Amino acid sequence: MLGRPPRPGPVSRRGWPRPPSPPSVEAVTGAVTNDEVAAALTELADLTSIGGGDAFKARAYEKAARAVGGHRVEVATLDAKQLQQIPGVGKAIAEKIIEFCRSGTFPALEKQRAAVPEGLRHLVRIPGLGPKRALVLYQELGVTSVDELQAAVDAGRLDDLPGFGAKTAENLRHGVQVLRSSAGRVHIDVATAAAERIVGVLSEVPGCVRCAYAGSLRRSRETVGDVDVLAASTNPEPLMRALKAMPDVADVIGSGAKKTSIRTTAGLQVDLRVVPPESWGAALQYFTGSKAHNVRLRTIAVHAGLKLSEYGLFDGGTDELIGSRTEEELYRRLGLAWVAPPLREDRGEIEAAQEDRLPVLVTEGDIRGDLHTHTDLTDGVAPLEEMVRAAAARGYAYLAVTDHAPNLSMQRMTTEKMLAQREQVRRLDRVHRRMRLLHGTELNIDPDGAVDWDEEVLAGFDLCVASVHSHFDQPRAAMTRRLIRACENPYVHVIGHPSTRMLGRRDAVDADWEAVFQAAARTGTALEINSSPERLDLGDALVLAARAAGVKFAVNTDAHATAHLDNLRYGVGTAQRGWLTADDVINTWTLRRLQSFLRRKSANT
């Protein structure tokens, strides 16, 4: 036993803390979400690894967590037999899920919680520190908290520890900073789910004229500190009352005539503001932000002899209301084209709006297919046919199946398995809504820039995505050479999640991105915007720089379950923040144009 700590709150499957589960059965029955079940299974996997338990069991819990998190039906509504139909969920795990939905926990989880100190569990959320290393720190140095790790690093106690050393210590120092900087923020999908649920409820309240979320979420920021919801009504009280009565409200922070702030059971703060219907456009623009964008607009207004606030645009001398009902009206009155929310970061959008040269941004409806998906042949949780059906249901014209390649040994891919899958893909081609299937792979970019398989095998794929999956701490020059060599490979069409970042968990690799972007543009290699809310990689700042270098992009989901296909919206939001048009994104193109692009890659390299 490693010690018996007080019971902590669960940790989300994204590695961020959740508040403690409600103690009573009545409080949790019927209210448990798939994400909460997945978080519990992920925590069990982490605790099993930290405690030196069976690695096979830990991987089984991880796979089950992914499957539950990506399941379209709420598992709390399923019985044991139905649960066992979910890939990776056997009888034992199904029993754990049922017990968790009933009581908020299960014996195996409580046993592991009792065996591992609470602080030690927090350590594994530090970027660069996995369960095994966390256990070593505990056993050798007695480190059981983030603060204790920080103190050990500062004192140089890790420098001589086998398997660590000065460089690792410095990386962990940075990891602690990353963890602390992400505290209180959630991924965009968590915020979106909460916001859409609240907007849906408030929109049905009698007297509500309009309702929408604003703030950084409306601007498609990758993480969100709190959610701003705006409603238009002449009678705010019913809306305030409806928000406070929602079942997932854990705490009412404050409530007044115009604003109510609550905290959800997931720990997310939501601020509701109710404005008169005639002020809707001005309020929506103001509370969407960003602060820098709004400052620029107010400056323009002042120079024009006007005043701009959340209540409207007014004549600076007479205070006469000039415009307030719509955002479009406000921008027009200021001599600007309407600026889409993802662009409102004071990164040149004001000048572009003045000169009527804002881009026509790519939309989710422009996407014709997904070029990076996985099945249960490797680490996905859905069979090939299920993934194909789900993609066809989205109306896609094409889909690329890109399971992992052999060098990622834990996935146990072989050439034989790959060829057998290729036959399956060919048989399913055009079966569902005439959707075309491309057989691809996600290759591993080795430390020297090489990839899996020889040229003869690579030539047989319709499309190859290549990604960095290891050795994230290579020096800048080596990482740059690694990525450029991958771009120069004639069989690599897309670089997957190029910076390898995991939001709140792992920083981007250190590379000369200008050199990488020039290589990608020169070789005709597309760079991915990975739509997973845990990645959103490339991030918007790098997308802007790559776009300026002439790079083309692929907005993919990297789906490991059918529900992950819905994450496309978040990748598109990042693409919009990077000023991308449909022409910049290769999977908005017709299949013929896409295939021409893929063939050209080999010829140009």
Kindly report the CATH number assigned to the domain that includes residue 232.
3.30.460.10
Q: How many whole angstroms separate alpha carbon 442 and alpha carbon 560?
A: 13
Confidence of residue 172 (pLDDT cuts 50, 70, 90): confident
Same domain, 307 and 377: no
- Please determine, for residue 178, whether its predicted confidence score (pLDDT) is greater than 80: no
Domain that holds residue 424: 364-604
Residue 182 confidence class, pLDDT cut points 50, 70, 90: low
The C-alpha atoms of residue 591 and residue 222 are separated, in whole angstroms, by: 30
Q: Tokens in use for 388? A: 């194909």
Q: Based on the domain organization, do 392 and 481 belong to the same domain?
A: yes
Residue 22 has pLDDT above 60, yes or no: no
CA distance 269 to 225: 8
Residues 96, 197, single domain; the answer is no
Q: Is the pLDDT of residue 122 over 80?
A: no
Number of structural domains the chain divides into: 4
**Amino acid code (one letter) for 507:** D
State CA 586 to chain mean position distance. Answer: 21
**Residue 324 or residue 7, greater confidence:** 324
Q: Do both 342 and 370 map to the same domain? A: no
Question: Which position has the token pair 């050199």?
Answer: 515
Residue that the structure tokens 């002042």 belong to? 302
Q: How many residues does the chain have?
A: 605
Taking residues 341-362, report their average pLDDT: 97
Whether residue 18 is found in the same domain as residue 70: yes
Render pLDDT for 88-106 as a digit per residue (tens, 0 to 9). 899 999 999 998 998 889 9
| Average pLDDT for 466-470 | 96
Domain-located, residue 375: yes
Q: Tell which residue, 7, 127, 11, 131, has the closest CA to residue 59.
A: 131
Q: Is residue 180 part of a domain?
A: no
Mean pLDDT, range 234-258, rounded to an integer: 92
Residue 52, both tokens: 């030196």
Same domain, 335 and 384: no
Query: What residues have CB less than 8 Å from 478, skipping those under 6 apart?
Result: 447
Of 155-164, 229-238, 560-569, where does mean pLDDT reach its minimum?
155-164
Closest CA to 176 of 158, 192, 188: 158
Q: Are residues 347 and 441 in the same domain?
A: no
Domain-ending residue, one of 116, 142, 164: 116
SS3 593: helix
- Is residue 148 included in any domain, yes or no? no
Ranking 8-12, 161-165, 261-265, 328-332 by mean pLDDT, the lowest is 8-12
In the block, residue with structure tokens 């993609």: 391
Report whether pLDDT(474) > 90. Answer: yes
The runs of H, that is alpha helices, within 155-250 are: 165-181, 188-203, 215-218, 237-244
- Condensed to tens digits (0 to 9), the pLDDT of residues 418-448 reads 999 999 999 999 999 999 999 999 999 999 9
